[in-house]
Structure 1
Amino acid sequence: MPDTSRPLRKLGFLTIGLFDPADPASGHESTLQIIELGERLGFDSAWLRHRHLQFGISSPIAMMAAASQRTSRIELGTAVTPLGWENPLRLAEDLATVDLLAGGRINPGLSVGEPMHYDTVKHELYPDSSELEDFSYGRLNRFARLIAGEKVRDFSGRQGVVEEFSNRVEPHSAGLRDRLWYGAASRKSAVWAGANGFNLLSSSVIFPEADQEPDFARIQQSQIRAFREAAETSAQAHGQARVSQGLVVIPTDSASPGQREKYQRYVDERTPRTRAPQGARGMLFAADLIGTSDEIAEQLYAHAGFQEVDEVAFALPFSFDHEDYIQILTDIASKLGPALGWTPAEVRRDPQ
C-alpha cells in the first residue's frame, strides 16, 4: 500500500436520490435512510445532486431539512444547485432557514449558466423574462451577498402595531457564507471561485484548456492549484479555502458475487466515454474506480488530483439498489477511508 503524508481529513459521499415515478416517496425515504447510515458510519458529509424535471431530487433543500431532523452531526450539501433555476433572494431565505434548523451543517454547492434544455422550459420558468435573465457569475455574486447579510433595501423598521421589517434576508445564518461551494469544471471557473470567496467542488467531469493534453488527473490538479492561488490572493476570501474531490468509487470488499457482476457491468458501460474528449469543448470524464479498497486506495494515491486534496465526496453510482448503497458506504467507511488515513468522526470526537 502506498504511503501518503497527507491523510484524508474529511470523507463524504454524493447521491443522486433516484426514485420510481410511480412511487416517489420510497425513493426519497431511501435517500434519507442512506444519509442516516452515513452518520452512523462516521462520514463527515452527505451531498445531494440537484435534478429538475427528472426522476431525481428536485428539492434538495427540502431533503436537507428532513435529514437535519434525523441526524445530529453529519454535514449536508448540494452538489450542485444550478442557480439558473433559482431566485437568489428566495434561495438565500430557504438555505438560511435550513442551516439554522441543522445547527450550521449546510454546505450549498452551486453552479451558474443557462438551465439545461432551456428552450424547452423557459416559457414556464421565466415566461416574462426568459430573454433578460442573467445566468452569469453576477447572479451567484448577488446570491452570496444576500447570504452574507448585506443590505437588500433601505426600507426597514416597524409598520403598524406588530409588523417589523428587515433590510436584509431573514433569517440570517452566521457562517453560512463561509460554507458556499462552487462546482467548477474549468480553470476559468476554478479561478473565479477562488477569487470570489467560494470553496471548490471538483468532480469527475472537467474541461481542459486548448493547450492541455487530455490527462484528467493532471488537468484536475492544475485547476485545483489555480483555485488555491486565486484564493490566497483574494480580498474576498472567507477563511481558508477548501477543496473537495468527487470521483466515483465502488469498493467490492463485502459485495456478493451478484453485486460484483452488476458493478462491473456498470463500469464497463461507462468506461468508453473516459477514453477520449467528448463534445465540442473536449469534456473529460474520470474513470470509475472499482475493486477492493486497497486497490482503489492505490489508484487514488497515484491520482494527481487526489494528491491535492484532504477531503472527498465520493459519488455513489446511479441506479443501484438500496442494499448496494449500504454495502458500498459500509466498505468505504470501514475499509477505504482508513486505507486513506481517514478516521471516523466519532473516533475523532471521542478518542477514548
Structure 2
Amino acid sequence: MPELERPLRRLGFLTIGLFDGDDPRPGHESTLEIVELGERLGFDIAWVRHRHLQYGISSPTAVLAALTQRTSRIDLGTAVIPLGWENPLRLAEDLATVDVLSGGRLNPGVSAGPPMHFDRVRGALYPDTAEAEDLGYGRAERLLDFLGGAPVTGFSGTEGIEVFSDRVQPHAPGLAGRVWYGGGSLRSAEWAGRNGLNLLVSNVVKAERSADFEQVQLSLVERFRAHHPDGERARVSQGLVVIPTDSATPAQRDKYARYAAQRLPRTTTTHGPARMMYAPDLVGDSAELAERLAAHAAFRAVDEVSFALPFTFDHDDYVQILTDMATKLAPALGWRPAA
C-alpha cells in the first residue's frame, strides 16, 4: 500500500444518470440500482450530477427522494445544482424534504454564477426578470439562510383553521452544515471557506496561476482551508475520473482505454478566456492507480474523494468499476468500507 499522510477516509462516486430520451425509465432505474450497489459495497456517499435539457438527471432532488426509500445508510449528494436555475426558497423546501426522508443523509452540492448556456434559456427561465436576477454568491447565501431556519416572512401562527410557519418547512436540523460548494476558481474556493461550506473540487478547474492540473486543484484546496474556520480540518472531496480494470473483460479494457485516449487531447492545454483545464482520466489496475493517486499533489491533501463514472458507459461497466473501486483500489489507499 502506498505511504499516505492522509489515508482515504471517505469514498464516493458520481453519476450523471444517462437515459434514452424516447424511453427514460430504464436509465433512471439503472441509476437507482447503481446507488443501491454502492451502498452494499460500503461506499460512503453517492453523488448525482445535474443536467438541464440533456439526457441526464434534470431533477436530482426527485431522484434522491426515490433513493431515500431504497437505501438506508449511504449519504446522498448533488454535484452540483446550478443555483441560477433555482428559486432558493423553493429549493430549500425540496432539499429539506429529501433530508428528512433520508434520515439526515443529504449533502447538497451547489454552484453560483450564470449557469451553462444561460443566454439560450434565459427567455424561458426568466422571461421578465433575467436582468434583475442575482446569479452570484448572494443566491447561495439565501439558500443557506433558508436551510438554517432564517425567517422568510414576518408572519407565523394561525389564520382561520390553517397554521403557518415563518421558516422553511420541514426544517432539517444540520442540513445547512452539510452543504458543499462546487468551486473551480480561487475566488470560489475562498468564498466557500469564508462561509464555512464544504468544498467539491472538480476534474474541471480554472488555470489561474499554473497550467499543471494537480497544482491547480491543490491551490483550490489550500485557498479554501486558509479561509475556513476549521482550517486543515475543513472537508474537501476531490473529483477525478478513475477507472480500475482489475476484473474488467478484454472488451471493457479496450473500451476504457479508447475512452481515455479520445479525451486526452483536451487535457493538454487550457480552453477559452477562462483558461479551463480538464484532468486526464486515470485507467489501470488498482495497484497502478493507487500509486498514481498517492503521487497526485491534490489527492495527498484530502481524505475524501468523489470519483466520477464515465458518462457513456453501460450498466455492467459501472458495476465492474464500482466493485473494483470498493474492493481493490480504495482499500489500497487506506479506506475501509462502511458497515
User: TM-score, normalised to structure 1's length?
Assistant: 0.94
Q: In the alignment, is the contact (CA less than 8 A) between 2:207 and 2:270 conserved in 1?
A: no
Aligned to 1:253: 246
Q: CA deviation at 1:131?
A: 1.5
2:215 maps to 1:218: yes
Q: Could you tell me how far apart the structure 2 residues matched to 1:58 and 1:45 are?
A: 20
Aligned to 1:179: 178
User: TM-score, normalised to structure 2's length?
Assistant: 0.98
Q: Could you tell me how far apart the structure 1 residues matched to 2:46 and 2:2 are?
A: 27
Q: Can you list the C-alpha shifts for 1:257-279, whole angstroms capped at 9, x where unaligned?
A: 00000001100000001111111
2:282 aligned residue (289, 295, 300): 289
3-state secondary structure, aligned to 1:182: strand
Aligned to 2:58: 58
Aligned to 1:154: 154
Aligned-partner residue type, residue 123 of structure 2: H
2:314 maps to 1:314: no
2:103 maps to 1:103: yes
Q: Could you tell me how far apart the structure 1 residues matched to 2:35 and 2:4 are?
A: 29
Q: Could you tell me how far apart the structure 2 residues matched to 1:218 and 1:65 are?
A: 37
Segment of structure 1 superposing worse, 2-11 or 16-25:
2-11
Q: Could you tell me how far apart the structure 2 residues matched to 1:33 and 1:19 are?
A: 14
Q: Using a 3 Å threshold, how does the CA distance of structure 1 residues 240 and 148 change in structure 2: closer, same or farther?
A: farther
Q: Could you tell me how far apart the structure 1 residues matched to 2:189 and 2:258 are?
A: 33
Q: Can you list the C-alpha shifts for 1:7-51, whole angstroms capped at 9, x where unaligned?
A: 110001000000011110000000000000000000000000000
Q: In the alignment, is the contact (CA less than 8 A) between 1:153 and 1:167 conserved in 2?
A: yes
* Structure-to-structure mapping, 1:238-277, within 5 angstroms: 241-277=234-270
Q: Could you tell me how far apart the structure 1 residues matched to 2:74 and 2:172 are?
A: 18
Q: In the alignment, is the contact (CA less than 8 A) between 2:42 and 2:326 conserved in 1?
A: yes
Q: In the alignment, is the contact (CA less than 8 A) between 1:195 and 1:233 conserved in 2?
A: no
Aligned to 2:328: 335
Segment of structure 1 superposing worse, 28-37 or 147-156:
147-156
Aligned to 1:194: 193
Q: How many residues align?
A: 339
3-state secondary structure, aligned to 1:173: coil
2:26 maps to 1:32: no
Q: Can you list the C-alpha shifts for 1:89-139, whole angstroms capped at 9, x where unaligned?
A: 000000000100000000000001112222221121111211111101001
Percent identity over the alignment is 63
Aligned-partner residue type, residue 329 of structure 2: L
Aligned-partner residue type, residue 246 of structure 1: G
3-state secondary structure, aligned to 1:244: strand
3-state secondary structure, aligned to 1:73: coil
Q: CA deviation at 1:233?
A: 7.5
3-state secondary structure, aligned to 1:164: strand
Q: In the alignment, is the contact (CA less than 8 A) between 2:238 and 2:306 conserved in 1?
A: yes
Q: Could you tell me how far apart the structure 1 residues matched to 2:280 and 2:198 are?
A: 24
Aligned-partner residue type, residue 272 of structure 1: P
Q: Could you tell me how far apart the structure 1 residues matched to 2:45 and 2:27 are?
A: 20
Q: CA deviation at 1:240?
A: 5.4
Q: Can you list the C-alpha shifts for 1:46-92, whole angstroms capped at 9, x where unaligned?
A: 00000000000000000000011000000000000000000000000
In structure 2, runs of 5+ residues without a counterpart are none
Aligned to 1:74: 74
